[in-house]
Amino acid sequence: MKQPIPQEFDTPTYRDVLSQFDAAAEWFCLDTNIWKRLRLPQRALCVTMPIRMDNGDVHVFQGFRVQHDSSLGPTKGGVRYHPGVNLGEVAALAMNMTWKCALVGLPYGGAKGGIGCNPKSMSRRELQRLTRRYTAEIFPLIGPDHDIPAPDVGTNEQVMAWMMDTYSQQRGYAVPGVVTGKPICIGGSLGREEATGRGVVYVAIEAMKHLGISIEGATAAVQGFGNVGSIAARFLSETGIKVIGVSDSTCGIYNSRGLDIQDVIAYKKDRHTLEGYPDGEMISNEELLELECTILVPSALSGQITEDNAGRLRCRMVVEGANNPTTREGDEVLKEMGIFVVPDILANSGGVIVSYFEWVQDLQKYFWKEREINERLQEIIITAFNRVIRFSVSENIVMRRASMSIAIKRLADAHLARGLYP
Ligand code: NAD
């Protein structure tokens, strides 16, 4: 498909996500009309928000909400607070959410939101004002039957609580199902906070079984020590895999004997950084990615594994905790090197799977036990993993292509069944 990308979406992340889709669509011989449609988001809203800062100044922030495709149901996707947020990146992440939901069989399309801001340098009161104003601005687009936000980089359950409250105030009654990843006391789900990291570990273990690698002697390195990275590291070490390196935006830490992850989590919680952690050697983020290990789990931002560093990776497999951590060129290098990649739309789908459970519980007003949630998560994600493996082996294609093809097939069926309006 040689159609130009509209200027407003044309960013490196959008090009990466689109090129993966184009390659899979071409291989799959996707109907050209559906192909053209899915290359672009269905709706994109840009908003500006004047916010009174604590020092009395007014700062105007820019935010976005993009809905990629609603053919399978309401749209679903996180909200990112980061200085680098732009429309093209949000649109790319929304597109990725469409593939992810379709791949694991959820009744959702993909969406994403974000605000260009640095939450680390803002006070709680500033963040609350910004979140409430953002929610008010995107109010026409969201709702339990329309589009359901969730946390992503730089946002957390508190931000979701403010979003839920702002939306509910406008409606005049409590609407817990408008967001997921909120605190349990207002309709959040048990197990949601750990869900993405837990899912990453479930698929990592399945991948090891597939490759015939035993847990004994296996090692892991995890980039990013936020929600996804710290929890994945915790579950990996609880499973018996030695986590030899972790990193955050400030630095990385390495210990060949294995890090005590609970201790690292406590240190990070206390100091808000990994810098200065006593039981490990300080390393750079680049060095962390290049550690010799069994499993590398990138769990930070997009575009971390590129054509420049992919050739220096010394892991047996990459399990993509983050969204789009590997560029198109980086992916080609990994393929040539024979590194097994569990793609983001499969590896980190645990978050949206348990978000789906949270939404179902909110709509039913009936809440499940944590054991039930974890078991259902495991069943869905492992079933999806095995489907992808079977397809990948039978067609002799890599896991990313197989995952994308399964997702595209489900979307194509839905689009063809529904037809065009008007
Ligand atoms: P988070 O804000 O909780 O954590 C991000 C972490 O990355 C932080 O530790 C930060 O210090 C670190 N980081 C930032 N820049 C870095 C860099 N250059 N090098 C190393 N570390 C860096 O965010 P999160 O929710 O854990 O999300 C991480 C990734 O996982 C994102 O790509 C997100 O889209 C994806 N994801 C998150 C969820 C979820 O449920 N939270 C679900 C699916 C995918």
Q: What angle do CA 33, 96, 359 make, to 5 degrees?
A: 110
Per-residue pLDDT, 25: 96
Return the best residue to mutate from 85, 267, 271, 299 for the ligand 1 pocket (most ligand atoms within 8 A of CB). Answer: 299
Instruction: Choose among 145, 181, 144: nearest CA to 162.
Output: 181
Note whether 88 and 203 are same-domain residues. no
Return the best residue to mutate from 98, 248, 302, 358 for the ligand 1 pocket (most ligand atoms within 8 A of CB). Answer: 248
User: Which domain-ending residue is among 305, 330, 347?
Assistant: 347
CB of 24 closer than 8 Å to CB of 96: no
Annotated catalytic residue within 2, 76, 100, 112: 112
Note whether 200 and 169 are same-domain residues. no
Note whether 327 and 202 are same-domain residues. yes
Whether 383 is covered by a domain: the verdict is no
Whether 364 is covered by a domain: the verdict is no
Whether 45 is covered by a domain: the verdict is yes
Whether 276 is covered by a domain: the verdict is yes
Q: Is 242 a catalytic residue?
A: no
According to DSSP, residue 305 is labeled: B
Per-residue pLDDT, 199: 98
User: Which domain-ending residue is among 286, 316, 347?
Assistant: 347
Note whether 154 and 199 are same-domain residues. no
Cα 38 to middle of ligand 1, angstroms? 26
User: Which domain-ending residue is among 302, 330, 347?
Assistant: 347
Note whether 240 and 335 are same-domain residues. yes
Instruction: Choose among 10, 18, 1: nearest CA to 327.
Output: 18
Return the best residue to mutate from 127, 159, 249, 274 for the ligand 1 pocket (most ligand atoms within 8 A of CB). Answer: 249
Whether 111 is covered by a domain: the verdict is yes
Per-residue pLDDT, 3: 83
According to DSSP, residue 6 is labeled: P
Per-residue pLDDT, 45: 98
Note whether 124 and 262 are same-domain residues. no
Contact residues of ligand 1, CB 6 A cut-off: 151-154, 196, 223-229, 247-249, 285, 299-301, 321-323, 348, 351
State which residues of the chain have pLDDT below 50.
Answer: none
Cα 34 to middle of ligand 1, angstroms? 32
Note whether 229 and 156 are same-domain residues. no
Of the CA atoms within 13 Å of residue 5, those in its CB half-sphere come to 20
Q: How far is CA 20 from the centre of its chain?
A: 16
Per-residue pLDDT, 400: 97
Note whether 199 and 146 are same-domain residues. no
pLDDT digits (tens, 9 = 90+) for 85-99: 999 999 999 999 999
Whether 82 is covered by a domain: the verdict is yes
Give the burial class of 55: count Cβ atoms within 10 A of its Cβ; 0-12 exposed, 13-18 middle, 19 or more buried.
exposed
pLDDT digits (tens, 9 = 90+) for 391-414: 999 999 999 999 999 999 999 999
Neighbour tally for 54: CB within 10 Å: 11
SS3 of 168, please?
helix
DSSP H helical segments within 105-178, as ranges?
124-138, 157-171
Note whether 111 and 243 are same-domain residues. no
Distance, in Å, from the CA atom of 282 to the CA atom of 41, rounded to the nearest integer, reads 42
Per-residue pLDDT, 372: 98
Contacts 24+ apart (CB under 8 A), 252-260: 252/223, 252/282, 252/283, 252/284, 252/285, 252/287, 252/288, 253/277, 253/280, 253/281, 253/282, 253/283, 254/280, 254/281, 254/282, 254/283, 254/287, 254/288, 254/291, 255/279, 255/280, 255/281, 258/219, 259/233
DSSP string, 366-383: ----HHHHHHHHHHHHHH
Note whether 53 and 149 are same-domain residues. yes
Per-residue pLDDT, 2: 72
Domain holding 281, by residue range, is 195-347
SS3 of 248, please?
coil
Note whether 206 and 315 are same-domain residues. yes
Distance, in Å, from the CA atom of 103 to the CA atom of 208, rounded to the nearest integer, reads 21
Q: Which atom of ligand 1 is nearest to the CA of 348?
A: 43
Per-residue pLDDT, 125: 98
Whether 381 is covered by a domain: the verdict is no
Instruction: Choose among 295, 313, 314: nearest CA to 304.
Output: 313
Note whether 206 and 73 are same-domain residues. no
Q: Which residues contact 134 (CB under 8 A, 6 or more apart)?
A: 47, 49, 61, 63, 79, 113, 115, 163
Give the burial class of 211: count Cβ atoms within 10 A of its Cβ; 0-12 exposed, 13-18 middle, 19 or more buried.
exposed
CB of 138 closer than 8 Å to CB of 132: no
CB of 338 closer than 8 Å to CB of 330: no
CATH number, domain containing residue 55: 3.40.50.10860
Domain count, the chain: 2
